[in-house]
Amino acid sequence: MALAQELWPINRSITGRGNRQTLMVIKKLLPDLRIETVPSGYEAYDWKVPDEWFVKEAYIIDPEGERFCDFSQNNLHLVGYSEAFEGEVTREQLNEHLHSLPSQPEAVPYVTSYYHRQWGFCISHQDRVSLRPGTYRVVVRTEHFKGRLDYGELLIPGRSRREVVFSTYICHPSMANNELSGPVLATEIASSLSQTNPYYSYRFVFLPETIGALVYLSKNLAALKKNTLAGYVLTCVGDNRCFSYVPSRLGNTVADKSALKVLGQMGIDFKRYLWKDRGSDERQFCSPGADLPFCSVMRSKYGEFPEYHTSLDTLGEVVSEEGLSGSREFYQLLVSELENNRFPSAVHVGEPQLSRRNLYPKTSVKGVYGKTAALVDFLSWSDGSHSVSEIADLCDISIEEAELFAEKLLHLKLISL
Amino acid sequence: MALAQELWPINRSITGRGNRQTLMVIKKLLPDLRIETVPSGYEAYDWKVPDEWFVKEAYIIDPEGERFCDFSQNNLHLVGYSEAFEGEVTREQLNEHLHSLPSQPEAVPYVTSYYHRQWGFCISHQDRVSLRPGTYRVVVRTEHFKGRLDYGELLIPGRSRREVVFSTYICHPSMANNELSGPVLATEIASSLSQTNPYYSYRFVFLPETIGALVYLSKNLAALKKNTLAGYVLTCVGDNRCFSYVPSRLGNTVADKSALKVLGQMGIDFKRYLWKDRGSDERQFCSPGADLPFCSVMRSKYGEFPEYHTSLDTLGEVVSEEGLSGSREFYQLLVSELENNRFPSAVHVGEPQLSRRNLYPKTSVKGVYGKTAALVDFLSWSDGSHSVSEIADLCDISIEEAELFAEKLLHLKLISL
Amino acid sequence: MALAQELWPINRSITGRGNRQTLMVIKKLLPDLRIETVPSGYEAYDWKVPDEWFVKEAYIIDPEGERFCDFSQNNLHLVGYSEAFEGEVTREQLNEHLHSLPSQPEAVPYVTSYYHRQWGFCISHQDRVSLRPGTYRVVVRTEHFKGRLDYGELLIPGRSRREVVFSTYICHPSMANNELSGPVLATEIASSLSQTNPYYSYRFVFLPETIGALVYLSKNLAALKKNTLAGYVLTCVGDNRCFSYVPSRLGNTVADKSALKVLGQMGIDFKRYLWKDRGSDERQFCSPGADLPFCSVMRSKYGEFPEYHTSLDTLGEVVSEEGLSGSREFYQLLVSELENNRFPSAVHVGEPQLSRRNLYPKTSVKGVYGKTAALVDFLSWSDGSHSVSEIADLCDISIEEAELFAEKLLHLKLISL
């Protein structure tokens, strides 16, 4: 929550100073975070990185001289990527540039227009309907210029080159569940993983949504395809409501299977969405041609909770310590599950001689075989195509026992992982 | 029916002048039909093209001097490929060369002996039993000589190199359902398809059955294996009785799936035969080593209707305008189904930028994504392994809508087909 | 039974004179049996062939001067691979070297200690509890020395290089079901197969269990992987109780499918075990890296019948003529099933011209096709991926008829097998 509070006021977008500030704050907690940059105009597949956007100030002065929709009060008031404008307009002219939600009269909505130049303000519907006729002075002091797009990347190397990837996004301004919860949880997971000596490598990417994911794919697709065991988009993980699962496109990847297994183990209800319900960067990671094994486990899914994409999505009311902790618990269990998800390969043809390693009774007496049967069974499935947890199922032993076997056999150089 | 009537009297066989005449009549309607030729003795796998056969005249004169079994009255009277013979025989000797059907006393049967030299006549059983003792004069003026085997081939090029193949045969003399209906329907389908600008290429082959199919395979197998999306043997498509389906050997090819889907859409009863019930050129096209995706949709299947392979299989009684029209309707729907059966591949990794193509809202406001979700969904399944109709199912949209999406995305160069 | 009686008294172990004697007895019945040898110290994967073991004499003298646990009376009395020892011990000291089964007080258990040097005796529990206090004289005159490990191998060449492998073991001393029944039945099957001219090649291996199987694999794995169609471990095939089936690791190999099919045809009850219930040389043959298609069909499974690994496992009481005969019947049917299990490949694309081979009516008359339909059907499935018995099912003909077709078509060079 402390990190979330520190990041809260920063004006994030798909480019700009706010993103760099955000990454620098995270880098204080994750010193190995690398901040990567591509220039405006960089082409990623069908897309081009737009000009960088900078907001100096933005507000409206009403006929009585009162300032409102002040960007410095709440960065949601200004439509994302608004172009500069200064001048006087009638209430009717102003209205064409205002966005509000009649169904949520107290909420300031979140609106962006990245690829189409316009200016606009977001306002609560109750304020909007109380605007009186007259002349309004509009001040939008923004700049668009050839700049850059920034993203953060952290690799926690494991003993294996195979990677678990967590992707989250840093393009949303002051909203809590969507999306401070993702970067905050990613930072927390990365921070605790970096204290361990994991088997798999773990990669964390902090991207502007969509354009950032495409930029990242355009630079790293071959390596991702080669190394990714499982990937997760971290988003909407801060509210303490029901868990939600959005599958990968192909639906039965290691990412999906592991996530579903852990959700099952936790014994909690969760909403199971379909691929067609997706809405975050799995849209890019799972697209034809990329086909990476990415899915999402969230709390309330984007688009499904009332505060979504409005000023009501706040720290405290929506995102809570309990909500973040519940998600952290899930992802801790998921990491354990994945760490168990290794694919042992027996080093020798045939069974190894376990008796000289004190793993088999030295004297062969009727009935003693059963005692070491599980270890021998484990070995018999160590054919490089079954994971440790699959082998646990095949041998009808617990994952913990299977993991102990894997460690023991690895130590004895009887399997490779 | 007009074409059927024009083709009716011609004496077709597996080689000979009648086949060339038949192909020339068809070529008047399909000017791009190519007539291909191989010489007698040409080897096709295990087979050799036999000598060409020509019938000058053939008849029998009874003891009273009356001519009967006259080839010029009905070409079914002479056993196909009969060798020349002139001489006087007793009724008993003659009987060894006569073929009739006791169970269908009014019918002249259709009998051939392509690869074993003999002579013979076919006669109705009621005429046969009324033959009186005495001396019969037999005149079979036929010639076998090194000649050629002819077949016709027409390609209607589409935008795709992938082909739908229709194969029919031109080796049956004066019988209507088996087999004037096949060439007549093939000509009709080819003629109307040539007015369109189809997506797939369509190939029509008019072959002598078995030996012609083998000759054709021997010259075109590699190309057929590379290009054929689906193939159909057109036979017995002229009677207005129940539809019949004979599967390909492997049973679940695109040819089968599309045929069954259309039969289902038409909501009609049809007899579903098994591979072991086959009996036409799918025997060659689906053989091991060829393994082409060919099946048949007929009306009454060969061998199953009483008039089959007799003089009773006539235009009017068996084949009717309604029968041919019903088959044409099926194959028109089948072509539509196949045309929908394209396999889009997204051109770009990741989602394309739809907003600059006016396919996505320029301003991102809560709730607007849903409106373009179907198009984005369509793109997400455009991975080259799902057909347009499969994608329609996956996205829960109609085939018509999916087809519109495919056209739009193809036009925008966002997919290839 | 005669062979079993002849082999009964010989002291078999994983190495030694008894094994050579056993192989020589079998070689009298199977003159082509090759006796292979590897030296002590030979390395097979993770294992090393131990020193050879020779027993001169072994017994204990009780305080009254009575000799008991005499190896010359019953070779089970001495723990397998016991080291030499001569000396006097108290009853308490002796007890630490005795093995008995309280739950089966009349049985002398079978105990070995191949890879850990110790000495020990096996005694019935009722005798053990009647031992009085006092001084016991122990005589174990054994030798361990650099010698050799012997095994037998017989190939009955068939027309195909593909092999059916039967493996059995020769390392058990005087016990009947486990394991004189295996070598005896293997000898019987080999003997009768060598009178025939089989299609497949048949390989019989007589090995010391585990170390022998590993030695054999280390010398022959590549050839086994290339040639083995199916393999069976012959063990516990002599008692006339319920049949048992232990699958291969992968579970659906030709070995498994054929065994299950024959068990089904015999219409008998059998116990279906799981891979985790295994316990003989399929442990090596099916291990990752070997992955050979081996399973077992036994009568009572090792470990599951009360006499297992004790002096109660005798000829007469446990193993009977009826028991061995029942197993022989199963394996005879299995060989027939496998012999039918060939994979014909059509030589020609398309149907061959059967009429010039008198396999098809020379004159094509309505209705005659049906008569040769089955042969043509057989050919249509001869695509190299269906076995003769699978084709029999597909064509709805008997296996005998399908086999006749295969012979005929092979003779005509229309298929290869």
Is A369–C303 a contact, with Cβ atoms under 8 angstroms apart?
A: yes
DSSP B109-141: B--B-TTS----EE--HHHHHTPPSSEEEEEEE
What are the tens digits of pLDDT across the range B372-389? Answer: 778 888 998 998 778 888
Q: Which of C24, C17, C16, C326 is nearest to C183 (CA)?
A: C24
Is C111–A355 a contact, with Cβ atoms under 8 angstroms apart?
A: no
Nearest to A99 among B347, B356, B365 (CB): B365
Of the pLDDT bands very low, low, confident and very high (cuts 50, 70, 90), residue B6 is: very high
What are the tens digits of pLDDT across the range A35-54? Answer: 999 999 999 998 999 999 99
DSSP C19-80: HHHHHHHHHHH-TTPEEEEEETT-EETTEEPPPEEEEEEEEEE-TTS-EES-TTT-GGGBPB
Specify the higher pLDDT residue, B1 or C366: B1
Quote the DSSP letter at residue A159.
Answer: S
SS3 assignment, position A296 = strand
Summarize the confidence of residues A311-321 as an average pLDDT. 95
**Over chain B, what is the mean pLDDT?**
93
What are the tens digits of pLDDT across the range B213-257? Answer: 999 999 999 999 988 989 999 999 999 999 999 999 988 888 998
Nearest to C309 among A366, A373, A395 (CB): A366
Alpha-carbon separation of residue A57 from A15, A138, A178, C14, C224 (angstroms): 17, 11, 24, 90, 79
What are the tens digits of pLDDT across the range C224-278? Answer: 998 898 999 999 999 999 999 999 998 888 899 899 999 999 999 999 999 988 8
Give the pLDDT confidence score for residue B365 in this predicted structure.
74
Please answer whether residues C363 and C372 qualify as being in contact, where contact means their C-beta atoms are separated by less than 8 angstroms: no
In chain A, the residue whose alpha carbon lies closest to the alpha carbon of C282 is A350
Specify the higher pLDDT residue, A380 or A170: A170
What are the tens digits of pLDDT across the range A108-133? Answer: 999 999 988 999 999 999 999 999 99
Give the pLDDT confidence score for residue C288 in this predicted structure.
87
Query: Measured between beta carbons, which residues in chain B are less than 8 angstroms from residue A116?
Result: 355, 362-363
Amino acid at B128: R
Instruction: Report the gap between the CA of B246 and the closest CA in chain C (Å).
Output: 14
Summarize the confidence of residues C186-201 as an average pLDDT. 95
Give the pLDDT confidence score for residue A367 in this predicted structure.
63
Residue C251 in contact with partner chain B when CB distance is under 8 A: no
Is A380–C275 a contact, with Cβ atoms under 8 angstroms apart?
A: yes
Amino acid at B30: L
Residue B286 in contact with partner chain C when CB distance is under 8 A: yes
C169 pLDDT above the threshold of 60: yes
Nearest to A111 among B351, B365, B384 (CB): B365
Summarize the confidence of residues A220-224 as an average pLDDT. 94
Give the Cα separation of B152 and B130 in Å (integer): 43
Summarize the confidence of residues B195-210 as an average pLDDT. 95
What global pTM score does this model have? 0.57
HSE-CB at B17 with a 13 A cutoff on CA atoms is 11
Residue C412 in contact with partner chain B when CB distance is under 8 A: no
In chain A, the residue whose alpha carbon lies closest to the alpha carbon of B352 is A46
B367 pLDDT above the threshold of 70: no
Q: Which residues contact A216 (CB under 8 A, 6 or more apart)?
A: A151, A167, A205, A207
Give the pLDDT confidence score for residue A187 in this predicted structure.
98
Give the pLDDT confidence score for residue B99 in this predicted structure.
96
Query: Measured between beta carbons, which residues in chain A are less than 8 angstroms from residue C79?
Result: 363
Question: Which residues 349-388 of A have a C-beta within 8 angstroms of C?
Answer: 349-353, 355-356, 362-367, 369, 373, 376-377, 379-384
- The DSSP element (H or E) to which A35 belongs, if any, is strand A34-39
**Terminal Cα distance for chain B, rounded:** 38
Query: Measured between beta carbons, which residues in chain C are less than 8 angstroms from residue B214?
Result: 349-350
A284 pLDDT above the threshold of 60: yes
- CA torsion, ordered C380, C381, C382, C387, to nearest 10 deg: -160
Give the pLDDT confidence score for residue B370 in this predicted structure.
53
Is B118–C363 a contact, with Cβ atoms under 8 angstroms apart?
A: yes
SS3 assignment, position A335 = helix
Quote the DSSP letter at residue B253.
Answer: S
What are the tens digits of pLDDT across the range A294-309? Answer: 999 999 999 999 999 9
Give the pLDDT confidence score for residue B205 in this predicted structure.
98
Query: Measured between beta carbons, which residues in chain C are less than 8 angstroms from residue A356?
Result: 115
Nearest to B284 among C350, C369, C395 (CB): C350
Residue A279 in contact with partner chain B when CB distance is under 8 A: yes
Give the pLDDT confidence score for residue C360 in this predicted structure.
78
C376 pLDDT above the threshold of 90: no
Of the pLDDT bands very low, low, confident and very high (cuts 50, 70, 90), residue C370 is: low
Q: Which of B106, B101, B97 is nearest to B78 (CA)?
A: B97
In chain A, the residue whose alpha carbon lies closest to the alpha carbon of B345 is A288
Quote the DSSP letter at residue B275.
Answer: G
C369 pLDDT above the threshold of 60: no
Instruction: Report the gap between the CA of B48 and the closest CA in chain C (Å).
Output: 9
Is A287–B380 a contact, with Cβ atoms under 8 angstroms apart?
A: yes
Specify the higher pLDDT residue, A351 or A259: A259
Of the pLDDT bands very low, low, confident and very high (cuts 50, 70, 90), residue A368 is: low
Chains that touch C (3 or more CB pairs under 8 A): A, B
What are the tens digits of pLDDT across the range A58-71? Answer: 999 999 999 999 99
CB count, 10 Å around CB of A88?
12
Give the pLDDT confidence score for residue B368 in this predicted structure.
56
Instruction: Say what the ipTM of the complex is.
Output: 0.76
Give the pLDDT confidence score for residue B187 in this predicted structure.
98
Is B249–C380 a contact, with Cβ atoms under 8 angstroms apart?
A: yes
Give the pLDDT confidence score for residue A162 in this predicted structure.
85
In chain C, the residue whose alpha carbon lies closest to the alpha carbon of A413 is C46
Specify the higher pLDDT residue, A360 or C410: C410
List the single range of A145-149, A189-193, B17-21, B283-287 with lowest mean pLDDT: B283-287
Query: Measured between beta carbons, which residues in chain B are less than 8 angstroms from residue C349?
Result: 45, 214, 217-218, 221, 284, 287-290
Is C284–A350 a contact, with Cβ atoms under 8 angstroms apart?
A: yes
Please answer whether residues B298 and B236 qualify as being in contact, where contact means their C-beta atoms are separated by less than 8 angstroms: yes
**Over chain A, what is the mean pLDDT?**
93
C147 pLDDT above the threshold of 90: yes
